[in-house]
């Protein structure tokens, strides 16, 4: 069955609640183990059915944010998902008081109970209206950015479609493209400030209602982080500042020399080579055909998986008017299928986003038989699968980049390393925001620019006064829709670098280890998954220093002036 044949029908929320109530009443009662286990699986199936329809509505709304039918369906789920959370909360409470807990843990694993304890702290029925308001605001943000119609050099483009202009070898084009994007964001500044201000206030109110001093720990708990806190995260950020920032600053100087600009500005940092950035040498269909060949040759498992994705038409890849921005992967439970969403624009990002999201999709495909709470791990572990897949597909880069292959590989490692300071910048900014929710919009921008100068001291916005006052984060959707989900990318990047190093020594062994990690899904917490895959813990002092050596050695081995 193809995606367009997947049937959407708005759930009857009253009926769903009644069915959940019926099975929830068995859990935590005097029922025997077998009866209680059956009730648990019934709850999982009911939630899967609801999530299937919610996911279909979300995908189809993202494909065309102007579709009035799916706009109304998205509004329905924005309102009713928090309502249904009350039933999920009741499930957790009953699960925790089960007299059969010991045998249930043997059957289901102990993590589901740890997650239930965490989730119990994050919900009370009185916060439902605030959760609904939060959902409405994040949807408004997505629609606002998707509405971009930027006039540039005789054409009209959305934000994703502006990216190629910002990578042109012609400096004036890059400069004007950055100003054009800034111009759109400046027009929407009032709305963006209002949306974020309301989100911060609502999230802080929710935190106070639930008994948290502020939103920070609630944000961590919402993400299911059972095995580390903001203390460990700060320690990691400090390691990045000490070990990575100086190297990235030198990489920026190296890029400046490579493109022949000594006083490089922010719009120059998007260009990697004087002769132009590496680009895929064909359109979407050509790239998918080459990806099919790549995954066939990588392994039997990846080949079967990718053919299924193509056959089911669950690859939504082209940028188009009215389409939501960004790239992501989700899972449609009742069709047992991952779904990849992206915005191809003719840059190297097309290949990176396809392999990245395919990493997510391959993981959930491998662990789809796990119970629903274990299909996905927590997000920092999820990103290991995606970022590592980017490196594990290196032997097939030539299929996409042809004569640009070496340029693409060097740029991939350099940009991955350069991302780390930016990633921790986003995280430190969010901690500052939610620790001081009383900040005004202008104070938030000042905070961003101050932290930006700490981690990216070389970033000079030239005459782009709008960006220079601290607004670059307006385009970072995670800050609006998924607070504290960004440090996950940086933690995972360390593990992905490990897979890069391993794959250069023994690619087959690296992939087999990766495959076993994917199969585990979310059956273990983040640090437990690291232990299972024999990956280093990024929170431990010395981890980054040990990883950076081989990465720097690779970068230094390349004469990038000849690329």
Spacing of C-alpha 2 from chain mean position: 25
Neighbouring-strand partners of residue 315: 340
Spacing of C-alpha 470 from chain mean position: 23
Average pLDDT, the chain: 97
pLDDT of residue 50: 98
Nearest Cα residue to 548 out of 244, 234, 248 = 244
| Angle, in degrees to the nearest 10, between helices 349-366 and 507-520 | 60
What CA–CA distance (Å, rounded) separates 273 from 558? 14
Q: Are strands 337-344 and 150-152 parallel, antiparallel or unpaired?
A: unpaired
Tokens for 491, please give them.
Answer: 């933690």
What CA–CA distance (Å, rounded) separates 228 from 220? 9
Whether residue 340 contacts residue 357, with contact meaning beta carbons closer than 8 Å, is answered with yes
Neighbouring-strand partners of residue 473: none
Nearest Cα residue to 357 out of 291, 271, 296, 304 = 291
Question: DSSP assignment of 518-549, as one string?
Answer: HHHTTSS-HHHHHHHTT---TTSTTHHHHHHH
pLDDT tens-digit map of 245-263: 999 999 999 999 999 999 9
Spacing of C-alpha 29 from chain mean position: 39
Report helix, strand or coil for 370: coil
Query: Domain residue spans in the chain?
Result: 3-124
Q: What is the pTM of this model?
A: 0.95
Q: What is the pLDDT along the chain (563 residues), one digit of tens a residue?
A: 999 999 999 999 999 999 999 999 999 999 999 999 999 999 999 999 999 999 999 999 999 999 999 999 999 999 999 999 999 999 999 999 999 999 999 999 999 999 999 999 999 999 999 999 999 999 999 999 999 999 999 999 999 999 999 999 999 999 999 999 999 999 999 999 999 999 999 999 999 999 999 999 999 999 999 999 999 999 999 999 999 999 999 999 999 999 999 999 999 999 999 999 999 999 999 999 999 999 999 999 999 999 999 999 999 999 999 999 999 999 999 999 999 999 999 999 999 999 999 999 999 999 999 999 999 999 999 999 999 999 999 999 999 999 999 999 999 999 999 999 999 999 999 999 999 999 999 999 999 999 999 999 999 999 999 999 999 999 999 999 999 999 999 999 999 999 999 999 999 999 999 999 999 999 999 999 999 999 999 999 999 999 999 999 999 999 999 99
DSSP 8-state code for residue 436: S
What CA–CA distance (Å, rounded) separates 442 from 419? 26
Angle at 448 between CA 443 and CA 453, to 5 degrees: 130
């Amino acid at each position: 069955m193809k995606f367009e044949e997947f049937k959407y029908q708005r759930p009857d929320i009253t009926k769903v609640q009644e069915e959940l109530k019926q099975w929830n009443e068995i859990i935590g009662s005097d029922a025997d183990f077998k009866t209680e286990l059956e009730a648990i699986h019934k709850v999982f199936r009911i939630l899967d059915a609801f999530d299937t329809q919610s996911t279909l509505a979300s995908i189809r709304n993202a494909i065309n944010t102007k579709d009035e039918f799916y706009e109304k369906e998205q509004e329905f789920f924005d309102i009713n998902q928090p309502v249904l959370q009350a039933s999920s909360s009741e499930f957790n409470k009953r699960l925790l008081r089960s007299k059969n807990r010991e045998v249930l843990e043997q059957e289901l694993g102990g993590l589901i109970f740890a997650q239930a304890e965490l989730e119990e702290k994050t919900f009370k029925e009185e916060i439902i209206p605030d959760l609904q308001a939060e959902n409405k605001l994040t949807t408004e943000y997505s629609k606002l950015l998707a509405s971009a119609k930027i006039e540039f050099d005789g054409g009209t483009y959305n934000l994703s479609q502006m990216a190629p202009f910002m990578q042109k070898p012609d400096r004036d084009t890059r400069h004007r493209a950055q100003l054009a994007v800034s111009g759109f964001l400046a027009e929407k500044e009032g709305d963006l400030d209002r949306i974020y201000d309301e989100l911060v206030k609502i999230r802080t109110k929710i935190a106070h209602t639930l008994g948290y001093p502020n939103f920070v720990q609630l944000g961590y708990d919402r993400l299911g982080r059972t095995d580390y806190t903001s203390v460990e995260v700060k320690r990691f950020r400090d390691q990045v500042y000490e070990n990575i920032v100086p190297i990235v600053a030198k990489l920026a100087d190296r890029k400046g020399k490579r493109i022949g600009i000594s006083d490089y500005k922010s719009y120059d940092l998007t260009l990697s080579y004087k002769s132009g950035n590496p680009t895929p040498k064909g359109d979407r269909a050509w790239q998918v055909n080459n990806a099919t060949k790549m995954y066939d040759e990588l392994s039997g498992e990846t080949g079967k998986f990718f053919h299924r994705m193509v056959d089911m038409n669950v690859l939504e890849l082209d940028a188009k008017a009215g389409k939501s921005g960004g790239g992501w992967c989700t899972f449609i439970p009742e069709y047992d299928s991952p779904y990849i969403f992206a915005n191809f624009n003719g840059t190297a990002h097309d290949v990176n986003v396809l392999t990245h999201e395919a990493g997510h999709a391959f993981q959930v495909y491998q662990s789809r038989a796990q119970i629903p709470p274990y299909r996905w791990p927590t997000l920092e572990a999820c990103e290991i699968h995606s970022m590592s897949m980017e490196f594990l597909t290196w032997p097939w880069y030539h299929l996409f980049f042809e004569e640009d292959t070496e340029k693409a590989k060097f740029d991939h490692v350099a940009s991955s390393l350069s991302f780390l300071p930016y990633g921790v910048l986003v995280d430190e900014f969010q901690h500052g925001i939610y620790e001081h929710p009383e900040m005004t919009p202008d104070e938030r921008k000042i905070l961003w620019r101050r932290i930006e100068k700490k981690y990216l001291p070389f970033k000079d916005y030239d005459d782009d006064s709008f960006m220079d006052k601290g607004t670059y984060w307006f385009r970072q959707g995670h800050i609006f829709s998924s607070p504290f989900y960004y440090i996950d990318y940086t933690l995972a990047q360390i593990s992905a670098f490990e897979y890069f190093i391993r794959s250069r020594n023994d690619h087959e062994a690296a992939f087999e280890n990766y495959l076993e990690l994917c199969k585990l899904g979310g059956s273990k917490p983040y640090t437990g998954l690291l232990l299972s895959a024999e990956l280093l813990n990024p929170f431990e002092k010395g981890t980054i220093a040990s990883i950076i050596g081989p990465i720097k050695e690779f970068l230094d081995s390349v004469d990038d002036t000849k690329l």
